[in-house]
Chain A
Amino acid sequence: MRHGRLLILGNGGAALSAARAARASGHLGEIHLASDVEGPAFNPMLAPYFLKGALPWERCFPFGAAFYDAFGITCHLGAEAERLDTRNREVTLASGERISYDRCLVATGAGPIVPPVPGLKASKRAFFLRTAASVRQLEEAIPKARSALVLGASFVGLKVAEILTRRQIRVTLLDCADQVLPGGAHGLLAAAIQALFERHGVEVRLRCAMEGVEGAGNGVVCHFRDGKIEAADLVVVCTGVKPNIGFLDPMQVRTDEAVLVDERLETSVQGLYAAGDACQGINIISGKHEWLATWENACLQGRVAGRNMAGESACYPGSLPQNIGLFFEWTYAHLGDVRGDVKGDVRGDVRTQGHSVLHRFFGSPSEGRFLVLALSGDILVGANLINCAHLAGGLRRAIRERWRWEGPARDGLTLEGIEKALRRGMDDFRSRPGTRAPTDAFTVMTFSGKRSARHGQRDQGQ
Chain B
Amino acid sequence: MTQYAFAFDVTRCSGCMACVVACQDQNDLDAIDVVAFRHVTTSETGAYPSARIDHFSLACQHCGDAPCVVACPTAAIRRRGQDNVVVVDRDLCVGCHTCQLTCPFGAPTFPEDGRMAKCDLCHTRREHGMKPACVLVCPSGALDVGPIEELSARKAKEASLKILKSIVASSSGDV
Which residues from chain A sit less than 8 Å from chain B, CB to CB? 43, 45-46, 49, 54-55, 59, 62-63, 295-296, 299-300, 303, 322, 324-326, 331, 333, 335, 389-394, 396-397, 420, 422-425, 427
B97 touches A425 (CB 8 A): no
Query: Which one of A43, A303, A396, A422 contacts B101 once the chains associate, using CB atoms below 8 Å?
Result: A396
Cβ of B123 within 8 Å of any chain A Cβ, yes or no, is no
Return the chain B residue nearest A60 by Cβ.
Answer: B74
Known: A59-B92, A423-B106. A295 touches B71 (CB 8 A): yes
Known: A322-B101, A325-B96. A393 touches B70 (CB 8 A): no
Query: Which one of A46, A393, A427 contacts B106 once the chains associate, using CB atoms below 8 Å?
Result: A393
Known: A49-B96, A324-B96. A393 touches B102 (CB 8 A): yes
Which residues from chain B sit less than 8 Å from chain A, CB to CB? 39, 41-43, 45, 54, 56, 58, 67, 70-75, 92, 94-98, 100-106, 108-110, 114
> Would you give the shortest CB distance from A394 to chain B, in whole angstroms?
6
> Would you give the shortest CB distance from A421 to chain B, in whole angstroms?
9
Known: A396-B102, A423-B56. A324 touches B97 (CB 8 A): yes
A299 touches B70 (CB 8 A): yes
- Pick 12 A–B contacts, CB within 8 A, sort by A: A45-B73, A62-B72, A63-B75, A295-B71, A299-B70, A322-B101, A326-B114, A389-B101, A396-B104, A420-B41, A423-B39, A423-B56
> Would you give the shortest CB distance from A66 to chain B, in whole angstroms?
13
Q: Which of chain B's residues have a CB closer than 8 A to the CB of A43?
A: 73-74
B94 touches A324 (CB 8 A): no
A46 touches B58 (CB 8 A): no
Known: A45-B73, A295-B71, A424-B56. A392 touches B101 (CB 8 A): yes
Nearest first, the 3 A-B pairs at minimum CB distance are A397-B104, A296-B71, A393-B103
A49 touches B109 (CB 8 A): no
> Would you give the shortest CB distance from B104 to chain A, in whole angstroms?
4
**In the bound complex, CA of A393 to CA of B103 (Å):** 5
Q: Which of chain A's residues have a CB closer than 8 A to the CB of B45?
A: 427
B109 touches A393 (CB 8 A): no
A295 touches B73 (CB 8 A): yes
Q: Which of chain B's residues have a CB closer than 8 A to the CB of A394?
A: 104-106
Q: Which of chain A's residues have a CB closer than 8 A to the CB of B114?
A: 326
A389 touches B97 (CB 8 A): yes
B94 touches A46 (CB 8 A): yes
Q: Which of chain B's residues have a CB closer than 8 A to the CB of A326?
A: 95-97, 114
**12 further contact pairs, Cβ within 8 A, besides A325-B97, A390-B109, A396-B101:** A46-B94, A62-B74, A303-B70, A326-B97, A389-B110, A397-B104, A422-B106, A423-B41, A423-B56, A423-B58, A424-B41, A424-B43
**In the bound complex, CA of A45 to CA of B96 (Å):** 10
Query: Which one of B42, B73, B105 contacts A46 once the chains associate, using CB atoms below 8 Å?
Result: B73
> Would you give the shortest CB distance from A312 to chain B, in whole angstroms?
15
Q: Which of chain B's residues have a CB closer than 8 A to the CB of A396?
A: 101-102, 104
Known: A299-B70, A324-B100, A427-B43. A391 touches B75 (CB 8 A): no
Return the chain B residue nearest A55 by Cβ.
Answer: B94
Q: Which of chain A's residues have a CB closer than 8 A to the CB of B96?
A: 45, 49, 324-326
B97 touches A49 (CB 8 A): no
**In the bound complex, CA of A173 to CA of B163 (Å):** 67
**In the bound complex, CA of A424 to CA of B56 (Å):** 6
> Would you give the shortest CB distance from A155 to chain B, in whole angstroms?
12
Return the chain B residue nearest A335 by Cβ.
Answer: B101
A296 touches B98 (CB 8 A): yes
